[in-house]
């Protein structure tokens, strides 16, 4: 631990055990970042990473590529935590990722029902000390506890008819129906709070509603309405 104000590891483990959903796990990543004296910290899931296409910035393409990113490749292949100097000579990571606030990186796996579903990522500024073996041991412990907690969360069964929405809009609608705020939805889907707001505006126009409650009510009503009988006399 590198900061006198950082929470003790046991406090983080207890907070993980009390988390009721992924949004609450996301909300505690700030404390995780403080514990590891990290410039940035994130809890990410593979099915919510941005799609790579022709418009994707080159740096993002490299970060999401198993060929270009040895840290991501290690987590995927070995399902184990590491920091950059575990597998790379000192200073090499800085040539792979030019961002100053990504000068040192550490990552660990998240496992749910035996499958690798995502990870925890932490970075430090290039002028800060690199991560060490003690940091790696603590991250491995947090990955274990978060993975165990993810396995306890009940899978969400859709009760809404979202056939008029895109897959991403349907995800947002489901989370709105569960009572999550825009900030919580953004954290779960790995997008900004403003992206959630803009998506909701499009969804309201598409469904011709003016509020979250109206949207959920309409989608719920469509899901329980009997199918029309076009063959009736």
Q: What's the pLDDT score for residue 86?
A: 96
Q: What's the pLDDT score for residue 109?
A: 97
Q: Indicate the burial class of 143 (C-beta count within 10 angstroms; 0-12, 13-18, 19 or more).
A: buried
User: What's the average model confidence in pLDDT over 94-119?
Assistant: 92
Distance CA 134, CA 136 (A): 5
Q: What's the pLDDT score for residue 2?
A: 47
Q: Where are the alpha helices (DSSP H) in 54-192?
A: 58-63, 70-78, 84-87, 93-96, 133-152, 167-177, 182-189
**Length of the chain, in residues:** 233
Is the model's pLDDT at 225 over the cut of 70? no
* Six-digit token string for 218: 């309409």
Least confident interval from 23-37, 63-77, 82-96, 145-159:
145-159
* Six-digit token string for 50: 């941005």
- Side-chain half-sphere CA neighbours of 145 within 13 A: 17
Q: What's the pLDDT score for residue 3?
A: 47
Supply the pTM of this predicted model.
0.70
* Interval 2-38: pLDDT, tens: 445 567 999 999 999 999 888 889 889 999 999 999 9
Distance CA 41, CA 122 (A): 4
Local confidence band at 73 (pLDDT 50, 70, 90 cut-offs): very high
Distance CA 170, CA 33 (A): 31
Q: What's the pLDDT score for residue 163?
A: 83
* Interval 112-169: pLDDT, tens: 888 899 999 999 999 999 999 999 999 999 999 999 999 888 665 566 788 888 888 8
Beta carbons of 111 and 117 less than 8 angstroms apart: yes
Q: What's the pLDDT score for residue 156?
A: 54
Q: What's the pLDDT score for residue 138?
A: 97
* Six-digit token string for 133: 């073996």
Helices 167-177 and 182-189 pack at an angle, to 10 degrees, of 130
Is the model's pLDDT at 189 over the cut of 70? yes
**Closest by CA position to 43, among listed 146, 125, 132, 114:** 146
* Six-digit token string for 232: 């009736």
Is the model's pLDDT at 227 over the cut of 70? no
Is the model's pLDDT at 201 over the cut of 90? yes
Distance CA 65, CA 90 (A): 22
Is the model's pLDDT at 100 over the cut of 60? yes
């Amino acid at each position: 631990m590198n900061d006198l104000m950082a929470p003790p590891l046991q406090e983080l483990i207890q907070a993980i055990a009390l988390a009721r959903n992924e949004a609450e796990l996301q909300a505690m990543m700030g404390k995780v970042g403080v514990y590891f004296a990290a410039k940035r910290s994130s809890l990410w899931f593979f099915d919510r990473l941005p799609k790579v296409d022709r418009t994707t910035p080159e740096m993002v393409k490299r970060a999401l590529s198993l060929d270009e990113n040895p840290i991501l490749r290690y987590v995927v292949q070995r399902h184990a935590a590491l920091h950059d100097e575990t597998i790379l000579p000192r200073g090499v990571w800085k040539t792979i990722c030019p961002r100053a606030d990504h000068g040192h990186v550490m990552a660990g796996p998240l496992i749910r029902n035996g499958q690798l579903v995502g990870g925890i990522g932490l970075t430090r500024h290039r002028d800060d000390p690199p991560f060490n073996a003690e940091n790696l041991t603590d991250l491995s412990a947090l990955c274990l506890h978060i993975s165990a907690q993810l396995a306890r969360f009940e899978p969400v069964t859709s009760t809404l008819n979202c056939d008029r929405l895109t897959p991403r809009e349907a995800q947002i609608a489901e989370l709105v129906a569960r009572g999550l705020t825009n900030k919580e939805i953004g954290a779960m889907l790995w997008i900004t709070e403003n992206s959630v707001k803009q998506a909701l505006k499009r969804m309201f126009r598409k469904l011709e509603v003016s509020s979250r409650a109206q949207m959920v009510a309409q989608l719920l009503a469509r899901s329980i309405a009997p199918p029309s009988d076009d063959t009736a006399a």
